[in-house]
Amino acid sequence: MKLMSKAWLRWLSWFLFASLFAAACVGLASWQFDRRDLAVSKIQRMVENYDKSAMPFGELSTLSLDDVTSLEWTPVDLTGQYLTEQELLVRNRPIAGQPGFIQLVPFQLASGEVVIIERGWIPANSELAPASSMTPSEEPKAIVARVRLSELTPNRDSPDGFATSIHLESLETTLGTSIEQQFYLRLISESPREPNSPQPLSKPTLDEGNHLSYAVQWILFALMGFLALFWAIRQEQEYRRIEKDPTYVPRSARNRKRTDGDIEDELLDVKN
């Protein structure tokens, strides 16, 4: 009885360990499901808004962050002029394996509001500096651009004239200019056009990633922990029964298919 009680205490501790492992796996699976939901919602916004007709900027500037989020990728009409002295280049933005930069230029409307315009991509030269200067003129322009949400907080500092993330609060500090909007705009077209402009950024691919498969894998890991525990308990019970009863035939032997050798051995036993 003491051996049995010790065994069950041991297996109980392993069951608690398996339960904690399963809880961690379920938590990671839930995290992957949440990430997938976020990716799917972004894709859905792009599908719904990308080809809409442009809306006036005035209808957008007073909206809450939740309302602006629902309008991500929607085209917007606005007029004003670039503040070229405050141009920034976002570093480490390769396209098709080629290093390059994203050009950001603040754009001031007639109302005095300032919004960040993402004008496009500029390739880097061999020294990882911009291959050419594509600073726009300061003449008044009418532009059409898409609503984009602020990126994550930058994880490192950049030299003057550069940034590592399109994070609006950080850009406000870097530029020393008040940015009232909780979004920036990706350029579609501008009039009058510039003779040299950055390469337009293409439409992102509609890919939700591998979050669903990862979530399923974590759930399988949780189940595998309990299956491994159950198998180990069954194996120990089999070994104990073999020790107590030498005539006991293990389940693995009973479930094994009979071979020609087994049949010959049985026939020899009958003849003898």
When pLDDT is cut at 50, 70 and 90, the band that residue 226 belongs to is confident
In 3D space, the residue among 265, 228, 215 whose CA is nearest the CA of residue 25 turns out to be 215
The correct answer on CATH 2.40.50 for the domain covering 51-191 is: yes
Write down the domain spans for the chain: 13-50+211-256, 51-191
Q: Which helix (H) or strand (E) holds 198?
A: none
Helix (H, G, I), strand (E, B) or coil at 192: coil
For 60-99, write each residue's pLDDT tens digit. 877 888 888 899 999 999 999 999 999 999 988 998 888 9
Q: Which residues on neighbouring strands pair with residue 78, listed in sequence order?
A: 143
For 132-141, write each residue's pLDDT tens digit. 778 999 999 9
111, 118 contact by CB (below 8 A): no
Is a pLDDT exceeding 90 seen at residue 31? yes
- Tokens representing 231 are 């198998």
* Mean pLDDT for the stretch of residues 152-167: 81
